[in-house]
Amino acid sequence: QVQLQESGPGLVKPSETLSLTCTVSGGSISRYYWSWIRQPAGKGLEWIGRIYSSGATNYKPSLRSRVTMSVDTSKNQFSLKLTSVTAADTAVYYCAREDGEQWLVDFWGQGTLVTVSS
Amino acid sequence: QSVLTQPPSVSGAPGQRVTISCTGTSSGIGATYDVHWYQQLPGTAPKLLIYGNNRRPSGVPDRFSGSKSGTSASLAIAGLQAEDEGDYYCQSFDSRLIFVFGAGTKVTVL
């Protein structure tokens, strides 16, 4: 059973960069798509983007200018960087695995709360 | 960009049947793209509930069913139980494989 675990700072200052890492266990990161999805408190899910194990990426257009995703297959990890954060970026951030045929999310991390505040 | 519209809330008594609609635009699920549904129980990560419009992953009770017609999809919960209380999201994608989620529907068991 694939398991995903997010890690990173829970508090980021405005205008700085949010950095999160997702560690995948119970399966290989290779030949799969991996994504980041966030959820502000009391609100819905927002897909941020995905990265394939080869490093190819696909980002939500409205976030593209601030998002960078990377993958480290040797560590079975992938990462998210979101620059110039504001309070609007405060959310629970989930890392997830995508099924590249059905185009859905089949495994989710437990989520990590990131608060943007000075 | 595709937008998926869901009702903010639905409610029903135990044992009743409730349905949640998910209406899209022609550039999204109005085309040939499938709709998937996720259940998010309080304090937990979402879980895949229905995929490919009407298929259930292993372990999902057959009380949950999905359908899709044109630009609209629906999730039905039959025999509503207290443990079904939570938020339900539809998800589809566009021609660029950009994922879109509906805003979510809160299910309350009266």
Q: Stretch A20-24: mean pLDDT, rounded?
A: 98
DSSP B79: S
**Mean pLDDT across the stretch B44-67?**
97
Q: How long, in residues, is chain B?
A: 110
- Span B74-96, pLDDT tens digits: 999 999 999 999 999 999 988 88
Q: Is the pLDDT of residue B26 over 90?
A: no
**Distance in Å from the first CA to the final CA of chain B:** 36
Residues of B in contact with A103 (CB under 8 A): 33-34, 93, 97, 99
Q: Is the confidence at residue B60, as pLDDT, over 90?
A: yes
What DSSP string describes chain A?
--EEEEES-SEE-TTS-EEEEEEEESS-STT-EEEEEEE-TTS--EEEEEEETTS-EEE-GGGTTTEEEEEETTTTEEEEEE-S--GGG-EEEEEEEEETTTTEEEEE---EEEEE--
User: What does the pLDDT look like over A56-102, one tens digit per residue?
Assistant: 999 999 999 999 999 999 999 999 999 999 999 999 999 999 998 99
Is pLDDT at B36 greater than 70 in this prediction?
A: yes
Cβ(A18)–Cβ(A12) below 8 Å: yes
Q: Rounded CA gap, A70 and A93, in Å?
A: 16
* Chain B closest-CA separation from residue A55 CA (Å): 16
pLDDT over threshold 60, residue B1? no
- According to DSSP, the residues that pair with A68 across neighbouring strands are A81
- Whether A3 contacts chain B with CB within 8 A: no
User: Residue A55 above 80 pLDDT?
Assistant: yes
Does the pLDDT at position A2 exceed 90? yes
The dihedral over CA atoms of A9, A16, A116, A11, expressed in degrees to the nearest 10, equals 20
- What pLDDT does A30 receive? 92
The four Cα atoms B66, B39, A41, A10 give a dihedral, to 10 degrees, of -130
pLDDT at residue A110 tops 80: yes
Q: Is the pLDDT of residue A9 over 70?
A: yes
CA distance B84 to B97: 30
Chain B's closest residue to A110, CA to CA, is B45
For residue B30, pLDDT over 60 is answered with no
Q: Which tokens is B88 given? A: 């339900």
A35 lies within 8 A of chain B by CB: yes
Q: Is B83 helix (H, G, I), strand (E, B) or coil?
A: helix
Interface A:B, Cβ pairs < 8 A: 51
SS3 B84: helix
pLDDT above 70 covers a percentage of chain A that reads 100
- Closest chain A residue to B37 measured between Cα atoms? A104
